[in-house]
């Protein structure tokens, strides 16, 4: 069965650079969630989209922005990167704006900021 695809899997950037993370949800899933997991931490919710509209916002820095496109894939744009942004970034997909139990996670993008 098709799963959530994230690219790239690994990314190394320097401070003050920008990064773009991509997420391709499971086919037919119209809802995307982004989470950030710091070293030894639990995943923290950043932002979500349902039918291309932002549906919820968590502890996402103003330096980050995201959007969902017409094919339901989503991109997380991160600017002015800081050392503290080094983390594993997960995308999860669901159906119906979170109205079902399903929330399947992608393998994550490991971002290292040096």
Partner 1 sequence: GEDVEQSLFLSVREGDSSVINCTYTDSSSTYLYWYKQEPGAGLQLLTYIFSNMDMKQDQRLTVLLNKKDKHLSLRIADTQTGDSAIYFCAERNNQGGKLIFGQGTELSVKP
Contact residues toward partner 1 (CB under 8 A) are 31, 33, 35, 41-45, 48, 50, 55-56, 58, 90, 92, 94, 97-99, 101, 103-108, 110
In angstroms, what is the minimal distance from the CB of 62 to partner 1? 19
In angstroms, what is the minimal distance from the CB of 80 to partner 1? 25
Residue nearer to partner 1 on the CB measure, 61 or 97: 97
Cα–Cα distance, 64 to 108 (Å, whole number) = 17
In angstroms, what is the minimal distance from the CB of 108 to partner 1? 5
């Amino acid at each position: 069965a098709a799963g959530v695809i994230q690219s790239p899997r690994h990314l190394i950037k320097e401070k003050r650079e920008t990064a773009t993370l991509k997420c391709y949800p499971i086919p037919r899933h119209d809802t995307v969630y982004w989470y950030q997991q710091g070293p030894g931490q639990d995943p923290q919710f950043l932002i979500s989209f349902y039918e291309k509209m932002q549906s919820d916002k968590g502890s996402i820095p103003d330096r980050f922005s995201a959007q969902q496109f017409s094919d339901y894939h989503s991109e997380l744009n991160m600017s002015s990167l800081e050392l503290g942004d080094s983390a594993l970034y997960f995308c999860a997909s669901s159906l119906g704006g979170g109205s079902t139990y399903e929330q399947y996670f992608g393998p994550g993008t490991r971002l290292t900021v040096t």
